[in-house]
Amino acid sequence: MEITQVVITGAGGPDRLAVRRSALPAPGPGEVQVEVAAAGINFADILARQGLYPDAPPLPCVVGYEFSGTVVAGDGDDAGLVGQEVLGLTRFGGYSSALNVPRTQVFTKPAGLTHAEAASLPVAYATAWQLLVVQGGLREGDTVLVQNAGSGVGLAALDVARHVGARTIGTASAGKHDFLRARGLDHAVDYRTGDWVREVRDLTGGHGVELVVDPLGGESFRKSRQVLRPTGRLGMYGVSAASSNQGLRGKLQLAKTAALMPWFHPVPLMNDNVGVFGVNLGHMWGEVDRIRGWMQQVVDGVGEGWVRPHVDSSYPFDRAGEAHAHIEARRSTGKVVLTP
Ligand SMILES: NC(=O)c1ccc[n+]([C@@H]2O[C@H](COP(=O)([O-])OP(=O)(O)OC[C@H]3O[C@@H](n4cnc5c(N)ncnc54)[C@H](OP(=O)(O)O)[C@@H]3O)[C@@H](O)[C@H]2O)c1
């Protein structure tokens, strides 16, 4: 079958994305073939294009961790899925008009969602669930600080926190605060201009928060650790601060972000009664049953009304570079998707 894909042709700016034709074989054992209607973009794709994402396949490559579409072929028992609308996770290759993916990585698309909304769901909500519920142990009445609250994962984290019954503080560029409050965020903080550590302390009567989820990396992890209440946890899950398009300067930015990462010594952690943990959903492919359990809760959450995927914008494959540039310019709120 002939397909179209958005290929990262080399490390660099958004102009390194190009549409190419390619051939897709029949699905292998345990796989289904999905005609893709929408593919979600994640910040990791931006870092991959910049040459700053160690997990990315060798260049040139096709990235994309998630999609929504229709099953067009299946192997054995899975042939019964043909015609079903699904959303799913894929280990790269999501920026394709069709793909083959293990049957275990697809889920029935809730009928009430558009394909763009469904493609916005898997990575953001599975990551948020792992961060807040599974490892973060967030409970009703706790306060959580969601760094980068206007991102895809950030909005999902707000939905999960509200579902749990926690109070939410979120950081984002100031232009996103009204939107975030309208989504139900309790307190919006501008982390780019003010002293957000003091602001979070003030908002919590000096106590600090039970949980921080932080994808910024570098110095931000050190500051996030400072606003933990005794028994609090810091969940670290990204290095957005390293993002840069500028070749050698990009590598220096990455090195600087890495150099500013704190070392958490066990003794102060014990003495302060706090914990730190990391999350990388992209290293969970061997834990299919766990992911399926989390994803089922999320898919059920759509019907229950607490999972509300928000599509910022949608771009056709031949404008993928504009989509990446839009995200890098910090103009997106929620998810940006590509359509073949
Ligand atoms: N570990 C995991 O399993 C996992 C899974 C998914 C995502 N992540 C990480 O979570 C973070 C959010 O991912 P996402 O896909 O949800 O993000 P996204 O929706 O693409 O987020 C874009 C937003 O990030 C903020 N941002 C912060 N630093 C930035 C920078 N240096 N350049 C551009 N934008 C920056 C901007 O919002 P504001 O300026 O308003 O804050 C921007 O609008 C990323 O670090 C990503 O790598 C990790």
Write out pLDDT tens, residues 22-32: 999 999 999 99
Same fold, 2-121+309-339 and 123-282: no
CA distance 93 to 82: 21
Q: Are strands 2-8 and 17-23 parallel, antiparallel or unpaired?
A: antiparallel
CA distance 272 to 208: 12
State if residue 174 touches ligand 1 by the CB under 6 angstroms criterion: no
For ligand 1, what atom is nearest to the CA of residue 334?
Answer: 19
Q: What is the pLDDT of residue 255?
A: 82
What average pLDDT score do residues 31-37 get? 97
pLDDT at 247 > cutoff 70: no
Q: Which residues pair with 11 in a beta bridge?
A: none
State if residue 280 touches ligand 1 by the CB under 6 angstroms criterion: yes
**Residues in Cβ contact with 208 at an 8 Å cutoff, skipping those fewer than 6 apart:** 200, 201, 227, 228, 229, 230, 232
Phi, psi of 89 (to 5 degrees): -110, 140
State if residue 173 touches ligand 1 by the CB under 6 angstroms criterion: yes
pLDDT at 75 > cutoff 90: no
Question: Considering only 205-219, 233-247, 294-308, which range has the smallest mean pLDDT?
Answer: 233-247
For ligand 1, what atom is nearest to the CA of residue 282?
Answer: 3
Q: What is the pLDDT of residue 246?
A: 66
Q: Which two tokens stand for residue 39?
A: 């593919």
146-168 pLDDT, tens digit each? 999 999 999 999 999 999 999 99
- Overall CATH class of domain 2-121+309-339: alpha beta
Domain boundaries along the sequence of the chain: 2-121+309-339, 123-282
Q: How far is the CA of 63 from the centre of ligand 1 (A)?
A: 16
For ligand 1, what atom is nearest to the CA of residue 330?
Answer: 43
State if residue 148 touches ligand 1 by the CB under 6 angstroms criterion: yes
Using CB atoms within 10 Å of the CB of residue 303, give its burial: 0 to 12 exposed, 13 to 18 middle, 19+ buried.
exposed
- Out of 3.40.50.620, 3.40.50.720, 3.30.360.10, 3.40.710.10, select the CATH number for domain 123-282: 3.40.50.720
The CA–CA distances, whole Å, from 90 to 40, 67, 180, 244, 329 equal: 11, 8, 29, 26, 26
